Homo-oligomer: A and B are copies of this chain.
Protein backbone atom coordinates (compact mmCIF):
# COMPACT_ATOMS: atom_id res chain seq x y z
CA UNK A 1 0.00 0.00 0.00
CA UNK A 2 1.35 3.46 -0.81
CA UNK A 3 2.17 6.34 1.49
CA UNK A 4 -1.04 8.19 0.74
CA UNK A 5 -3.10 5.70 2.78
CA UNK A 6 -4.75 7.47 5.69
CA UNK A 7 -2.39 7.49 8.70
CA UNK A 8 -5.23 6.36 10.96
CA UNK A 9 -5.62 3.08 9.02
CA UNK A 10 -6.76 0.31 11.37
CA UNK A 11 -4.11 -2.07 9.93
CA UNK A 12 -1.33 0.45 10.14
CA UNK A 13 1.51 -0.61 12.41
CA UNK A 14 4.87 0.74 13.50
CA UNK A 15 8.08 -1.29 13.47
CA UNK A 16 11.38 -0.49 15.19
CA UNK A 17 14.41 -1.27 13.01
CA UNK A 18 17.87 -1.70 14.54
CA UNK A 19 19.72 0.52 12.07
CA UNK A 20 23.20 -0.41 13.34
CA UNK A 21 22.94 -4.23 13.12
CA UNK A 22 24.23 -6.24 10.18
CA UNK A 23 27.22 -6.37 7.85
CA UNK A 24 25.89 -3.57 5.64
CA UNK A 25 24.55 -1.31 8.42
CA UNK A 26 23.54 1.42 8.53
CA UNK A 27 23.22 2.30 4.79
CA UNK A 28 21.52 -0.91 3.58
CA UNK A 29 19.30 -1.01 6.68
CA UNK A 30 18.08 2.56 6.17
CA UNK A 31 17.42 1.93 2.48
CA UNK A 32 15.54 -1.31 3.26
CA UNK A 33 13.48 0.29 6.03
CA UNK A 34 12.51 3.27 3.85
CA UNK A 35 11.49 0.88 1.07
CA UNK A 36 9.35 -1.02 3.60
CA UNK A 37 7.63 2.20 4.68
CA UNK A 38 6.97 3.04 1.03
CA UNK A 39 5.80 -0.40 -0.11
CA UNK A 40 4.11 -1.80 2.97
CA UNK A 41 1.49 -0.47 5.31
CA UNK A 42 3.95 0.41 8.08
CA UNK A 43 5.72 3.27 9.81
CA UNK A 44 9.33 2.74 10.86
CA UNK A 45 11.43 3.97 13.76
CA UNK A 46 15.16 3.59 13.10
CA UNK A 47 17.19 2.99 16.28
CA UNK A 48 20.80 4.10 15.95
CA UNK A 49 23.30 6.97 15.85
CA UNK A 50 21.39 10.09 14.77
CA UNK A 51 24.49 11.69 13.28
CA UNK A 52 24.92 8.77 10.88
CA UNK A 53 21.26 8.08 10.19
CA UNK A 54 19.95 11.61 9.52
CA UNK A 55 22.00 12.23 6.35
CA UNK A 56 21.29 8.70 5.01
CA UNK A 57 17.60 9.22 5.61
CA UNK A 58 17.61 12.65 4.00
CA UNK A 59 19.32 11.20 0.92
CA UNK A 60 16.85 8.37 0.33
CA UNK A 61 13.84 10.56 1.20
CA UNK A 62 14.76 13.31 -1.29
CA UNK A 63 11.92 13.70 -3.82
CA UNK A 64 14.32 13.31 -6.77
CA UNK A 65 15.28 9.88 -5.49
CA UNK A 66 11.71 8.84 -4.89
CA UNK A 67 10.76 9.73 -8.44
CA UNK A 68 13.81 8.34 -10.18
CA UNK A 69 13.45 4.94 -8.49
CA UNK A 70 9.80 4.77 -9.48
CA UNK A 71 8.91 3.95 -5.86
CA UNK A 72 6.07 5.64 -4.01
CA UNK A 73 7.35 8.63 -2.06
CA UNK A 74 7.73 8.26 1.70
CA UNK A 75 6.29 10.91 3.95
CA UNK A 76 8.80 12.32 6.43
CA UNK A 77 6.76 11.24 9.47
CA UNK A 78 6.68 7.62 8.29
CA UNK A 79 10.36 7.06 9.10
CA UNK A 80 11.72 8.54 12.31
CA UNK A 81 14.91 8.12 14.31
CA UNK A 82 15.25 6.97 17.94
CA UNK A 83 18.69 7.93 19.18
CA UNK A 84 20.87 5.01 20.35
CA UNK A 85 24.49 5.99 20.71
CA UNK A 86 25.87 2.51 21.40
CA UNK A 87 26.01 -0.53 19.11
CA UNK A 88 26.45 -4.26 19.52
CA UNK A 89 29.19 -5.72 17.31
CA UNK A 90 28.41 -8.66 15.02
CA UNK A 91 30.91 -10.76 16.97
CA UNK A 92 29.46 -9.83 20.37
CA UNK A 93 27.20 -12.33 22.01
CA UNK A 94 24.75 -12.56 24.84
CA UNK A 95 26.85 -10.94 27.57
CA UNK A 96 27.49 -7.73 25.67
CA UNK A 97 23.79 -7.06 25.32
CA UNK A 98 23.47 -6.99 29.12
CA UNK A 99 26.22 -4.44 29.42
CA UNK A 100 24.83 -2.20 26.68
CA UNK A 101 21.48 -0.71 27.68
CA UNK A 102 21.91 2.10 25.10
CA UNK A 103 22.68 -0.19 22.14
CA UNK A 104 20.46 0.20 19.08
CA UNK A 105 18.86 -3.21 19.57
CA UNK A 106 18.18 -2.51 23.28
CA UNK A 107 16.51 0.82 22.39
CA UNK A 108 14.42 -0.92 19.73
CA UNK A 109 13.25 -3.48 22.33
CA UNK A 110 12.38 -0.68 24.76
CA UNK A 111 10.13 0.87 22.12
CA UNK A 112 8.18 -2.41 22.07
CA UNK A 113 8.08 -2.56 25.83
CA UNK A 114 6.60 0.96 26.01
CA UNK A 115 3.98 0.00 23.42
CA UNK A 116 5.28 2.47 20.81
CA UNK A 117 6.00 -0.21 18.21
CA UNK A 118 4.60 -3.70 17.57
CA UNK A 119 7.78 -5.43 16.43
CA UNK A 120 11.56 -5.17 16.13
CA UNK A 121 13.70 -5.96 13.10
CA UNK A 122 17.47 -6.46 13.44
CA UNK A 123 20.23 -7.93 11.28
CA UNK A 124 22.65 -8.04 14.21
CA UNK A 125 24.15 -11.15 15.82
CA UNK A 126 21.48 -13.69 16.78
CA UNK A 127 22.95 -14.33 20.23
CA UNK A 128 23.02 -10.62 21.05
CA UNK A 129 19.49 -9.98 19.84
CA UNK A 130 18.02 -12.98 21.67
CA UNK A 131 19.72 -11.91 24.89
CA UNK A 132 18.65 -8.27 24.52
CA UNK A 133 15.07 -9.25 23.75
CA UNK A 134 14.84 -11.71 26.63
CA UNK A 135 16.24 -9.10 29.00
CA UNK A 136 13.98 -6.25 27.90
CA UNK A 137 10.73 -7.86 26.81
CA UNK A 138 8.32 -9.78 29.04
CA UNK A 139 7.61 -13.41 28.18
CA UNK A 140 4.01 -14.13 27.26
CA UNK A 141 2.11 -15.99 30.00
CA UNK A 142 2.85 -19.71 29.70
CA UNK A 143 6.01 -19.30 27.64
CA UNK A 144 9.07 -19.51 29.85
CA UNK A 145 11.54 -19.23 27.00
CA UNK A 146 11.05 -17.72 23.55
CA UNK A 147 11.76 -19.90 20.50
CA UNK A 148 13.43 -18.93 17.23
CA UNK A 149 11.24 -19.79 14.22
CA UNK A 150 12.78 -20.13 10.75
CA UNK A 151 10.96 -20.83 7.49
CA UNK A 152 12.35 -23.60 5.28
CA UNK A 153 11.62 -23.20 1.55
CA UNK A 154 9.83 -26.53 1.02
CA UNK A 155 7.48 -27.14 -1.91
CA UNK A 156 4.53 -26.68 -2.20
CA UNK A 157 4.15 -24.95 1.20
CA UNK A 158 6.76 -23.70 3.65
CA UNK A 159 7.82 -25.60 6.79
CA UNK A 160 8.55 -23.78 10.04
CA UNK A 161 11.44 -24.94 12.26
CA UNK A 162 11.26 -24.02 16.00
CA UNK A 163 13.67 -23.66 17.86
CA UNK A 164 16.46 -22.75 15.45
CA UNK A 165 18.91 -21.67 18.13
CA UNK A 166 17.49 -19.62 21.00
CA UNK A 167 17.74 -22.28 23.77
CA UNK A 168 20.52 -24.88 23.52
CA UNK A 169 19.39 -27.05 26.49
CA UNK A 170 15.59 -26.80 26.80
CA UNK A 171 13.32 -28.94 28.97
CA UNK A 172 10.94 -31.33 27.16
CA UNK A 173 7.99 -29.10 28.17
CA UNK A 174 9.53 -26.22 26.24
CA UNK A 175 9.29 -28.21 23.01
CA UNK A 176 5.52 -28.34 23.55
CA UNK A 177 5.54 -24.56 24.02
CA UNK A 178 7.59 -24.23 20.79
CA UNK A 179 4.89 -26.27 19.06
CA UNK A 180 2.22 -23.79 20.23
CA UNK A 181 4.35 -20.84 19.08
CA UNK A 182 4.94 -22.50 15.70
CA UNK A 183 1.26 -23.30 15.21
CA UNK A 184 0.33 -19.65 15.86
CA UNK A 185 3.00 -18.51 13.36
CA UNK A 186 1.92 -20.98 10.66
CA UNK A 187 -1.71 -19.88 11.09
CA UNK A 188 -0.90 -16.17 10.90
CA UNK A 189 1.89 -16.07 8.32
CA UNK A 190 1.21 -19.18 6.22
CA UNK A 191 -2.58 -19.27 6.47
CA UNK A 192 -2.70 -22.93 7.57
CA UNK A 193 -5.78 -23.53 9.72
CA UNK A 194 -4.55 -26.67 11.50
CA UNK A 195 -0.79 -26.96 11.04
CA UNK A 196 0.72 -30.48 11.29
CA UNK A 197 3.40 -30.56 13.99
CA UNK A 198 6.33 -33.00 13.79
CA UNK A 199 9.08 -33.71 16.31
CA UNK A 200 12.64 -33.77 14.88
CA UNK A 201 14.37 -36.97 16.00
CA UNK A 202 16.24 -40.01 14.68
CA UNK A 203 13.66 -42.66 13.87
CA UNK A 204 9.99 -42.91 13.05
CA UNK A 205 8.81 -44.86 16.12
CA UNK A 206 7.77 -43.01 19.32
CA UNK A 207 10.59 -44.57 21.40
CA UNK A 208 13.35 -43.26 19.09
CA UNK A 209 15.66 -40.39 19.90
CA UNK A 210 17.57 -39.00 22.86
CA UNK A 211 16.04 -38.57 26.31
CA UNK A 212 14.73 -35.08 25.49
CA UNK A 213 13.01 -36.17 22.28
CA UNK A 214 11.48 -39.28 23.85
CA UNK A 215 9.93 -37.26 26.67
CA UNK A 216 8.83 -34.47 24.30
CA UNK A 217 7.09 -37.09 22.15
CA UNK A 218 5.04 -38.26 25.15
CA UNK A 219 4.04 -34.69 26.01
CA UNK A 220 3.17 -33.75 22.42
CA UNK A 221 1.04 -36.88 22.08
CA UNK A 222 -0.94 -36.00 25.24
CA UNK A 223 -3.55 -33.29 25.64
CA UNK A 224 -1.97 -29.88 26.39
CA UNK A 225 -2.23 -28.97 30.08
CA UNK A 226 -4.09 -26.04 31.66
CA UNK A 227 -6.70 -25.64 28.92
CA UNK A 228 -4.22 -24.97 26.11
CA UNK A 229 -5.47 -25.52 22.55
CA UNK A 230 -4.82 -29.01 21.12
CA UNK A 231 -1.88 -29.60 18.79
CA UNK A 232 -2.20 -31.68 15.60
CA UNK A 233 0.84 -33.85 16.32
CA UNK A 234 1.90 -36.06 13.38
CA UNK A 235 4.74 -37.83 15.21
CA UNK A 236 8.47 -38.04 14.63
CA UNK A 237 10.18 -36.59 11.59
CA UNK A 238 13.86 -37.05 10.63
CA UNK A 239 16.58 -34.76 9.26
CA UNK A 240 15.63 -35.78 5.73
CA UNK A 241 12.09 -34.47 6.34
CA UNK A 242 13.15 -30.85 6.89
CA UNK A 243 12.50 -30.17 3.20
CA UNK A 244 10.01 -32.95 2.50
CA UNK A 245 6.87 -31.05 3.48
CA UNK A 246 5.79 -33.85 5.86
CA UNK A 247 4.98 -31.33 8.62
CA UNK A 248 4.05 -27.63 8.65
CA UNK A 249 5.85 -27.05 11.95
CA UNK A 250 8.91 -29.03 13.12
CA UNK A 251 9.92 -28.65 16.78
CA UNK A 252 13.33 -29.42 18.27
CA UNK A 253 15.85 -28.06 20.79
CA UNK A 254 17.85 -24.99 19.75
CA UNK A 255 21.11 -26.92 19.45
CA UNK A 256 19.82 -29.57 17.07
CA UNK A 257 17.67 -27.02 15.26
CA UNK A 258 20.58 -24.68 14.60
CA UNK A 259 22.90 -27.49 13.44
CA UNK A 260 20.15 -28.89 11.18
CA UNK A 261 19.28 -25.47 9.72
CA UNK A 262 22.91 -24.70 8.90
CA UNK A 263 23.41 -28.23 7.52
CA UNK A 264 20.48 -27.67 5.15
CA UNK A 265 21.80 -24.24 4.09
CA UNK A 266 25.34 -25.58 3.60
CA UNK A 267 24.26 -28.68 1.69
CA UNK A 268 21.90 -26.74 -0.58
CA UNK A 269 24.65 -24.25 -1.44
CA UNK A 270 27.13 -27.11 -1.95
CA UNK A 271 24.82 -29.05 -4.25
CA UNK A 272 24.01 -25.92 -6.27
CA UNK A 273 27.72 -25.15 -6.67
CA UNK A 274 28.50 -28.73 -7.75
CA UNK A 275 25.65 -28.56 -10.24
CA UNK A 276 26.89 -25.20 -11.59
CA UNK A 277 30.38 -26.65 -11.99
CA UNK A 278 28.92 -29.61 -13.88
CA UNK A 279 26.97 -27.23 -16.13
CA UNK A 280 29.95 -24.96 -16.78
CA UNK A 281 32.61 -27.67 -16.95
CA UNK A 282 33.09 -27.59 -20.72
CA UNK A 283 32.40 -25.26 -23.63
CA UNK A 284 29.44 -27.33 -24.93
CA UNK A 285 28.01 -27.54 -21.41
CA UNK A 286 28.24 -23.75 -21.04
CA UNK A 287 26.53 -23.39 -24.41
CA UNK A 288 23.72 -25.55 -23.04
CA UNK A 289 23.03 -23.11 -20.20
CA UNK A 290 22.01 -20.47 -22.76
CA UNK A 291 18.78 -22.42 -23.15
CA UNK A 292 18.16 -22.68 -19.42
CA UNK A 293 18.52 -19.08 -18.27
CA UNK A 294 14.95 -18.51 -17.24
CA UNK A 295 14.60 -21.78 -15.28
CA UNK A 296 17.87 -21.21 -13.43
CA UNK A 297 16.93 -17.62 -12.60
CA UNK A 298 13.56 -18.71 -11.16
CA UNK A 299 15.32 -21.35 -9.07
CA UNK A 300 17.79 -18.81 -7.67
CA UNK A 301 14.87 -16.63 -6.62
CA UNK A 302 13.18 -19.52 -4.87
CA UNK A 303 16.30 -20.60 -2.99
CA UNK A 304 17.24 -17.02 -2.04
CA UNK A 305 17.22 -16.62 1.74
CA UNK A 306 16.62 -12.88 1.41
CA UNK A 307 13.06 -13.38 0.22
CA UNK A 308 12.11 -15.25 3.41
CA UNK A 309 12.43 -12.36 5.80
CA UNK A 310 14.49 -14.00 8.51
CA UNK A 311 13.97 -15.76 11.81
CA UNK A 312 11.26 -14.72 14.26
CA UNK A 313 11.75 -14.84 18.02
CA UNK A 314 8.32 -15.83 19.32
CA UNK A 315 6.81 -15.92 22.79
CA UNK A 316 7.64 -12.39 23.97
CA UNK A 317 5.37 -9.34 24.28
CA UNK A 318 6.23 -8.06 20.80
CA UNK A 319 7.70 -9.94 17.87
CA UNK A 320 11.43 -9.77 17.08
CA UNK A 321 12.50 -10.58 13.51
CA UNK A 322 16.18 -11.38 13.02
CA UNK A 323 17.33 -10.79 9.45
CA UNK A 324 20.46 -12.46 8.07
CA UNK A 325 23.66 -10.63 9.09
CA UNK A 326 24.60 -10.21 5.42
CA UNK A 327 21.20 -8.72 4.52
CA UNK A 328 21.05 -6.13 1.78
CA UNK A 329 18.27 -3.51 1.62
CA UNK A 330 16.02 -6.16 0.03
CA UNK A 331 16.58 -8.52 2.98
CA UNK A 332 15.69 -5.78 5.48
CA UNK A 333 12.49 -4.98 3.56
CA UNK A 334 11.53 -8.68 3.62
CA UNK A 335 12.19 -8.80 7.37
CA UNK A 336 9.96 -5.71 7.85
CA UNK A 337 7.23 -7.40 5.78
CA UNK A 338 7.40 -10.51 7.99
CA UNK A 339 7.30 -8.35 11.15
CA UNK A 340 4.31 -6.41 9.80
CA UNK A 341 2.48 -9.61 8.76
CA UNK A 342 2.96 -11.14 12.20
CA UNK A 343 1.83 -7.93 13.92
CA UNK A 344 -1.19 -7.51 11.61
CA UNK A 345 -2.14 -11.14 12.25
CA UNK A 346 -2.01 -10.44 15.98
CA UNK A 347 0.45 -13.23 16.61
CA UNK A 348 0.88 -12.24 20.26
CA UNK A 349 -2.84 -12.55 20.91
CA UNK A 350 -2.98 -15.85 19.01
CA UNK A 351 -0.16 -17.24 21.16
CA UNK A 352 -1.86 -16.17 24.40
CA UNK A 353 -5.02 -17.90 23.23
CA UNK A 354 -3.17 -21.14 22.44
CA UNK A 355 -1.69 -21.42 25.91
CA UNK A 356 -5.15 -21.25 27.45
CA UNK A 357 -6.47 -19.68 30.64
CA UNK A 358 -4.42 -21.79 33.08
CA UNK A 359 -1.34 -21.32 30.95
CA UNK A 360 1.04 -20.28 33.69
CA UNK A 361 1.35 -23.80 35.03
CA UNK A 362 3.90 -25.40 32.77
CA UNK A 363 6.79 -23.14 33.49
CA UNK A 364 6.24 -21.55 36.85
CA UNK A 365 8.96 -23.59 38.52
CA UNK A 366 12.44 -22.76 37.31
CA UNK A 367 14.61 -25.84 37.40
CA UNK A 368 18.01 -25.77 39.08
CA UNK A 369 19.81 -26.95 35.97
CA UNK A 370 18.41 -23.95 34.19
CA UNK A 371 21.48 -21.78 34.34
CA UNK A 372 22.39 -21.22 30.70
CA UNK A 373 21.95 -17.82 29.06
Interface residues of A (CB under 8 A from B): 93, 127, 155, 165, 168-169, 200-203, 205, 208-211, 213, 238-244, 252-256, 258-272, 274-275, 277-279, 281-282, 284-285, 287-292, 294-296, 298-299, 302-303, 372
Chain B residue at minimum C-beta to C-beta distance from A298: B278
What are 25 of the A-B contact pairs (CB < 8 Å)? A93-B203, A93-B208, A169-B210, A202-B259, A202-B262, A239-B259, A239-B261, A239-B262, A239-B264, A240-B262, A243-B270, A256-B259, A268-B268, A268-B270, A271-B303, A274-B299, A275-B275, A277-B295, A278-B295, A278-B298, A278-B299, A281-B298, A284-B291, A288-B289, A288-B290
Tell me if B210 and A168 are in contact (CB < 8 A): yes
Q: Are A291 and B295 in contact (CB under 8 A)?
A: no
Complex CA distance for A292 and B203, rounded to whole angstroms? 38
Q: When the two chains form the complex, which single residue of B240, B253, B262, B290 contacts A210, counting CB atoms closer than 8 Å?
A: B253
Give the distance in Å from the alpha carbon of A296 to the alpha carbon of B289 in the complex.
Answer: 13
A294 to chain B: which residues have CB within 8 Å?
Answer: 281-282, 285
A244 nearest CB across to chain B (Å)? 7
| A255→B299 contact, CB < 8 A | no
The verdict on A203 contacting B127 (CB below 8 Å), with A263-B264, A267-B268, A278-B292 known, is yes
Cα-based distance from A234 to B291 in the complex (angstroms):
45
B93, B258, B295: the one contacting A282 at CB < 8 Å is B295
A292–B267 contact, CB under 8 A? no
Q: Which residues of chain B are near A93, meaning CB under 8 Å?
A: 203, 205, 208
When all copies of this chain in the complex are counted, the total is 2
Q: How far is the CA of A288 from the CA of B280 in the complex (A)?
A: 12
Most B CB within 10 A of own CB, among A208, A241, A244, A279: A279
Where chain A touches its partner, the secondary structure class is helix
Contacts of A290 in B (CB 8 A): 288
Q: Are A268 and B271 in contact (CB under 8 A)?
A: yes
- Checking B200, B265, B282 against A259 with a beta-carbon cut-off of 8 angstroms, the contacting residue is B200
Q: Which residues of B contact A205 (CB under 8 A)?
A: 93
Contact among B155, B213, B261, B267 for A255, CB-based, below 8 A:
B213
Within the complex, the shortest CB–CB distance from A9 to chain B, in Å, comes to 39
Q: How far is the CB of A161 from chain B (nearest CB, A)?
A: 10
In contact, B284 and A267 (Cβ under 8 angstroms) = no
Q: Are A241 and B268 in contact (CB under 8 A)?
A: no
Cα(A208)–Cα(B266), bound, Å: 19
- Which residues from chain B contact A267 at a C-beta distance below 8 Å? 242-243, 263-264, 267-268, 271
Q: Which 6 pairs show the lowest CB-CB distances between chains A and B?
A: A239-B262, A288-B291, A240-B266, A288-B288, A271-B271, A239-B263
Q: Are B243 and A266 in contact (CB under 8 A)?
A: yes
- Once the chains are docked, how many angstroms separate the CA of A263 from the CA of B290? 32
Given A242-B267, A259-B259, answer yes or no on A202-B292 (Cβ-Cβ < 8 Å).
no
CA distance A302 to B291 in the complex (A): 25
Q: How far apart are the CA atoms of A279 and B255 in the complex, in Å?
A: 36
